[in-house]
Amino acid sequence: MASTMIALASASLPASLSLRNNCKLKMKRGSFDHNALLKEKRNSFIKTKSFGRLTMVVAVNVSRFEGITMAPPDPILGVSEAFKADTNEMKLNLGVGAYRTEELQPYVLNVVKKAENLMLERGENKEYLPIEGLAAFNIVTAELLFGAANSVIQQQRVATVQGLSGTGSLRLAAALIERYFPGAKVIMSSPTWGNHKNILNDAGVPWSEYRYYDPKTVGLDFDGMISDIKAAPEGSFVLLHGCAHNPTGIDPTPEQWEKIADVIQEKNHIPFFDVAYQGFASGSLDADASSVRSFVARGMELLVAQSYSKNLGLYAERIGAINVVCSSADAAERVKSQLKRLARPMYSNPPIHGARIVANVVGNPALFSEWKAEMELMAGRIKNVRQKLYDSLSAKDKSGKDWSFILKQIGMFSFTGLNKAQSDNMTNKWHVYMTKDGRVSLAGLSSAKCEYLADAIIDSYHNVS
Ligand code: PGU
């Protein structure tokens, strides 16, 4: 194809490009892709002129990604990046919800190491998993969540698909909602884990919030929650944290859960649980699944996303599952087939390593009981620092402020009530890294650092408005 390139300076280019005047005039004869050209023109990096069958194209030597702006740092994972860059020796990373030892080191559970040794001994292969994931994992994960004797398991009414941890499992659920419940809304607590909104936005699922946290009582706004769930359009999906609500650490009581279930049933809504902390709230796997199980016991259909990031410390293995409880085995089979269909073009099939670890730990009675003991240890360490932080705050703060809300919260986090400016002070002055909503991860705190953290909180609370 004949084509001539002529160097030319263009006066009509954006000012930012004026220094880059090494533009080229491209002349082509015959056919030309006008649609592509029009697209380019819209980006204003290419100018055209037509002379009958001749088209002149001015192609500019700039990045085709020039129009892409810098994304802001992630409000949670971005905190770890900022922490790494800080050279102060007092620095403390209470941003991400990741368990640390008393020495503030990452922790690989002993049962995980044992399971990995077993896997190595067996010399297992690295073939692709089926789209739905490892069969042995899918069985144990549903049993762990609902209880092995639960009728939904016995009657095969659960569609379980291995997901890319909690996030990926939520994303699959969102894709299912978008495809099969078009226009249906997801309602979520205010506040909630920040990524919930991103996940639903990217899946194209509309959402709104229900009241949850009451800053006056630093507790649950139960009446607000109930009336907002009631007011949502019939058939909405109600996103609920199964236990250890993130970021507030405030969970409904068993009686309140029953009332929430009543309203959801009345309004024909569909519960959509996010269970990222089973075993981490109370130290007991069963107690932490009781909200989900009480809804299931009512015969409700529901969705549950699970994660093993925290309770087995498998953060980077990306292991979790989406479970859809259906009213019949037949419906569950169809739902599962569609979840697989959604997963296939997204990531094809999930990773095997974490799935094997979970299957080995949960499926082996000795390792399972060892896991429970280790989890109690982790949950216990967090409870200890929670108590110590409260004690330090109460002893040091002479203002009479009641800090007991810290003891009422459960799970990995404490929602301190510090505002953005106060949280900024925590980081800028005290080198305490935390999310800007006032959340601190107690899983990243040691007993030795409790007093320092208390000083930082008292200073930020009283001296910054
Ligand atoms: N759901 C909730 C409520 C969570 O808190 C988290 C993790 C997840 C799901 C997803 O975790 P996966 O690792 O995908 O299984 N939240 C932590 C971890 C950091 C993050 O934001 O991903 C946190 O610090 O809030």
193 tagged catalytic: yes
Check residue 355 and give its pLDDT.
98
* 75 CB burial (10 A radius; 0-12, 13-18, 19+): middle
Q: What angle do CA 286, 291, 296 make, to 5 degrees?
A: 95
Atom of ligand 1 nearest to the CA of 76: 21
Atom of ligand 1 nearest to the CA of 241: 3
- Ligand 1 centre to CA of 52 (Å) is 59
Check residue 61 and give its pLDDT.
79
Check residue 55 and give its pLDDT.
60
| Among 94, 167, 250, residue to substitute to test ligand 1 (most atoms within 8 Å of Cβ) | 167
Q: Is the pLDDT of residue 38 over 90?
A: no
Atom of ligand 1 nearest to the CA of 308: 15
Sheet of 46-51, strand order: 3-8, 23-28, 54-59, 46-51
From 114, 185, 310, 449, the catalytic residue: 310
Ligand 1 proximity of 309 Cβ (cutoff 6 Å): yes
Over residues 233-237, mean pLDDT:
98
Alpha helices in 181-328 (DSSP H): 195-203, 222-231, 254-266, 285-288, 290-297
Q: Which residues of 409-423 are buried (b: 16+ CB within 10 A; e: fewer)?
A: bbbbbbbbbbbeebb
Average pLDDT of the chain is 90
Q: What are phi and psi of 106, to 5 degrees?
A: -60, 155
> For residues 427 and 433, is the Cβ–Cβ distance under 8 A?
yes
Ligand 1 proximity of 295 Cβ (cutoff 6 Å): no
Residues forming beta bridges with residue 241, ordered by sequence position: 274
Residues forming beta bridges with residue 26, ordered by sequence position: 5, 57
Check residue 48 and give its pLDDT.
55
Over residues 434-449, mean pLDDT:
95
* CA-proximal residue: ligand 1, atom 4 (nearest): 276
| % of the chain residues with pLDDT over 90 | 84
Ligand 1 proximity of 21 Cβ (cutoff 6 Å): no
CA-to-CA distance for 346 and 348, rounded, in angstroms?
A: 6
Q: Is the pLDDT of residue 32 over 70?
A: no
- Ligand 1 centre to CA of 167 (Å) is 7
CATH fold of 130-363, please?
Answer: Aspartate Aminotransferase; domain 2 (3.40.640)
Q: Is the pLDDT of residue 29 over 90?
A: no
CA-to-CA distance for 174 and 77, rounded, in angstroms?
A: 22
Over residues 416-445, mean pLDDT:
96
Q: List, as one string, the DSSP characters of 328-355.
A: SHHHHHHHHHHHHHHHHHHHSS--SHHH
10 Å Cβ neighbour count for 378? Answer: 22
Check residue 218 and give its pLDDT.
87
Ligand 1 proximity of 436 Cβ (cutoff 6 Å): no
Over residues 320-329, mean pLDDT:
98
pLDDT tens by residue, 177-233: 999 999 999 999 999 999 999 999 999 999 999 999 999 888 999 999 999 999 999
Q: Which residues contact 350 (CB under 8 A, 6 or more apart)?
A: 129, 133, 162, 163, 164, 168, 318, 319, 343
* 94 CB burial (10 A radius; 0-12, 13-18, 19+): buried
- Ligand 1 centre to CA of 442 (Å) is 15
Check residue 33 and give its pLDDT.
54
Between residues 57 and 386, the one the model is more confident about: 386
What is the torsional sign of CA 390, 394, 396, 398? positive
10 Å Cβ neighbour count for 435? Answer: 22
Ligand 1 proximity of 320 Cβ (cutoff 6 Å): yes
Between residues 38 and 157, the one the model is more confident about: 157
- Ligand 1 centre to CA of 275 (Å) is 10
10 Å Cβ neighbour count for 437? Answer: 18
Residue 15, both tokens: 């000012």
Which of 44-58, 122-136, 139-153, 259-273 shows the lowest per-residue confidence on average (mean pLDDT)? 44-58
Q: Is the pLDDT of residue 436 over 60?
A: yes
Q: Is the pLDDT of residue 1 over 60?
A: no
| Among 164, 195, 319, 322, residue to substitute to test ligand 1 (most atoms within 8 Å of Cβ) | 195
- Ligand 1 centre to CA of 39 (Å) is 39
Check residue 283 and give its pLDDT.
87
Check residue 11 and give its pLDDT.
37
CA-to-CA distance for 243 and 23, rounded, in angstroms?
A: 60
Instruction: Look up residue 100 and give its DSSP letter.
Output: B
Check if 77-107+376-463 and 130-363 are the same fold.
no
Check residue 348 and give its pLDDT.
98
Ligand 1 proximity of 249 Cβ (cutoff 6 Å): no
Ligand 1 proximity of 411 Cβ (cutoff 6 Å): no
Residues forming beta bridges with residue 189, ordered by sequence position: 210
Atom of ligand 1 nearest to the CA of 165: 15
pTM above 0.85, yes or no: yes
Check residue 269 and give its pLDDT.
98
- Ligand 1 centre to CA of 397 (Å) is 32
Q: Is the pLDDT of residue 238 over 80?
A: yes
From 221, 251, 274, 437, the catalytic residue: 274
CA-to-CA distance for 79 and 368, rounded, in angstroms?
A: 34
Check residue 399 and give its pLDDT.
95
Atom of ligand 1 nearest to the CA of 435: 24
Ligand 1 proximity of 138 Cβ (cutoff 6 Å): no
> For residues 389 and 450, is the Cβ–Cβ distance under 8 A?
yes
| % of the chain residues with pLDDT over 70 | 87
Check residue 35 and give its pLDDT.
58
Check residue 36 and give its pLDDT.
53
257 confidence band (pLDDT: 50, 70, 90): very high
257 tagged catalytic: no
pLDDT tens by residue, 346-404: 999 999 999 999 999 999 999 999 999 999 999 999 999 999 999 999 999 999 999 99
Check residue 58 and give its pLDDT.
58
| Residue extents of the structural domains in the chain | 2-61, 77-107+376-463, 130-363
Q: Which residues of 342-377 are buried (b: 16+ CB within 10 A; e: fewer)?
A: bbeeeeebbbbbbbbbbbbbbbbeebbebbbebbee
Between residues 241 and 51, the one the model is more confident about: 241
Q: Is the pLDDT of residue 7 over 80?
A: no
CATH of domain 77-107+376-463: 3.90.1150.10
Q: What are phi and psi of 241, to 5 degrees?
A: -85, 120
Between residues 23 and 422, the one the model is more confident about: 422
CA-to-CA distance for 367 and 119, rounded, in angstroms?
A: 14
Over residues 107-122, mean pLDDT:
97
Check residue 19 and give its pLDDT.
36
Half-sphere exposure of 339 (CA within 13 A, CB side): 30
Ligand 1 proximity of 189 Cβ (cutoff 6 Å): no
| Among 200, 272, 307, 440, residue to substitute to test ligand 1 (most atoms within 8 Å of Cβ) | 307
37 confidence band (pLDDT: 50, 70, 90): very low
Q: What angle do CA 444, 446, 449 make, to 5 degrees?
A: 110
Q: List, as one string, the DSSP characters of 122-165.
A: HT---PPPPTT--HHHHHHHHHHHH-TT-HHHHTT-EEEEEEEH
Which of 5-19, 54-68, 116-130 shows the lowest per-residue confidence on average (mean pLDDT)? 5-19
Ligand 1 proximity of 291 Cβ (cutoff 6 Å): no
22 confidence band (pLDDT: 50, 70, 90): very low
